[in-house]
Amino acid sequence: MNLKGVQLTWLGHATFRIDTPGGRTIIIDPWIMNNPACPPFEKKLKHVDVLLCTHGHGDHIGDAVEVIKEHNPQVVGMPELCGWLEKKGAKQTLIMNKGGTQKVGDIKVTMVHADHSCGIQDGDQLIYGGEACGYVVEFENGVKIYHAGDTNVFGDMAIIRELYAPEIVMLPIGDHFTMGPREAAYACNLLKPKTAIPMHFGTFPVLTGTPSDFQKLVPGVEVVTMPVDDYLYSMLPKRDEVLAEMEEYASKHSIPIVGPAVAPGLYQLALMINAKTVFELGSAIGYSTIWWARAVGKEGRVVYTDGDSKNAERARGYFERAGVADRITLHTGDALEVLSEQKEQFDIIFNDVDKEDYPRVLRLVSPRLRKGGLFITDNVLWSGRVAQKNPKQPQTKAILEFNRLLYDSGDFFTTILPIRDGVAVALKK
């Protein structure tokens, strides 16, 4: 969702990533790598500047320690919760309490009330984490949002409306541990938002509230749902045991594979041009490689490349179990270097390496792809960041440059398919 340059992305459950117009990334409630509702391609965080923590339950701060170790963000929360995170390695805590407002870089953060418990499970100890809270965040462009945290409805939501008037509210609707649709609808009566984003539903079977039940109760509010995505994912055919295991492994270990929404499309494209040879840049554990290998058939050949030898070792095991090992050549090392050494022309070249390298990949591809062949590239929408006005991230800039070069190239006819994180399909003329 793009709010005048503020990019809001729901990562499942109560977790949100916000990219500000100034190029900073904020995570509300960092439960990501172990969050079963987080899309696999969102699990590897590229960059984090600020964490806002509503309370200490595992389904809200379950991955905070890991994110802090990797990105060293500023951490906003109750003193007790921040104190615990400091012991776990947080170096930049910005403690506050309810009713207070502080400036955090280019945003203004107000901590507001929430009615919920807040223990932190640390091994077999339960630690006091202060009280649970919600946040009102005001961005530099004036947009105001309210994340309610975990809570029931309470009358003082009317005060939040009076004082801050957030136009967008994120409300839990799952029921059982928080409010359900009926209380969330009452919350809308008090908050009078333009838009409500339902959260904290469906992750576990007990969280039974649904966005459609909620929407029926608030006809005057725009309720943001993703019915089309849900529908598309519900239509996907079952994968075999090896692919299903790889999907689970990738999800658990934050390996950004193309996943089950994109992979069948790649397979289909290969069949459509009767591809027999595929060169893959960036293969990780070999998930997309297996789809290519099945598409090219027994007589075909797929080149796997990855810089990480552990990935290659794991991939080799999967290839054998999937019965496609004999059609795959594995290279460990720099994929661009391996491609530049190729003498033959391939039917398909698939690009999924580090994003900063995309423009360089494009320069290597054309001579190594046959006429009528396909150059296919993943992540070209970069979780919507390509629509940012002044992107600061080097990856976003590289993808923007790549997309421009690809569309402008006289060698290719290109379309970006907006499936998952965006797939560019370029036909060699």
Ligand X SMILES: C[S@@+](CC[C@H](N)C(=O)[O-])C[C@H]1O[C@@H](n2cnc3c(N)ncnc32)[C@H](O)[C@@H]1O
Tell me which residues touch ligand X (CB under 6 A). Answer: 256-258, 282-284, 287-288, 305-308, 311, 334-336, 352-354, 357
> What's the CA gap between 81 and 129, in Å, rounded?
5
In DSSP terms, which residues pair with 104 in a beta bridge? 107
CB of 49 to ligand X, least distance (A): 23
Structure-token pair, residue 111: 């901590």
Token digits of residue 287:
């998930």
**Between residues 201 and 291, which has the closer beta carbon with respect to ligand X?**
291
CB of 293 to ligand X, least distance (A): 12
E strands, 200-242, are: 222-223
Cβ proximity to ligand X: between 200 and 355 the closer is 355
| Shortest spacing between CB 406 and ligand X, in angstroms | 18
State how far the Cα of 150 lies from the Cα of 373, in Å rounded to an integer.
Answer: 51
- Residue 264 contacts residue 287 (beta carbons within 8 Å): no
- Is the CB of 200 or the CB of 420 nearer to ligand X? 420
Residue with nearest beta carbon to ligand X: 282
Q: Measure the CA–CA gap between 25 and 7, rounded to whole angstroms.
A: 9
Nearer to ligand X (CB atom), residue 46 or residue 182: 46
Q: How near is the Cβ of 338 to ligand X at its closest, in Å?
A: 8
d(CA 281, CA 349): 8
CB of 284 to ligand X, least distance (A): 3
Q: How far is the CB of 413 from ligand X (least distance, A)?
A: 23
CA dist., res. 217 & res. 200, Å (int): 18
Which residues make beta-bridge pairs with 119?
128
Pairing of β 125-128 and β 119-122: antiparallel
| Between 218 and 336, CB nearer to ligand X | 336
Nearer to ligand X, 102 or 340 (CB): 340
Q: What is the torsional sign of CA 388, 391, 395, 397?
A: positive
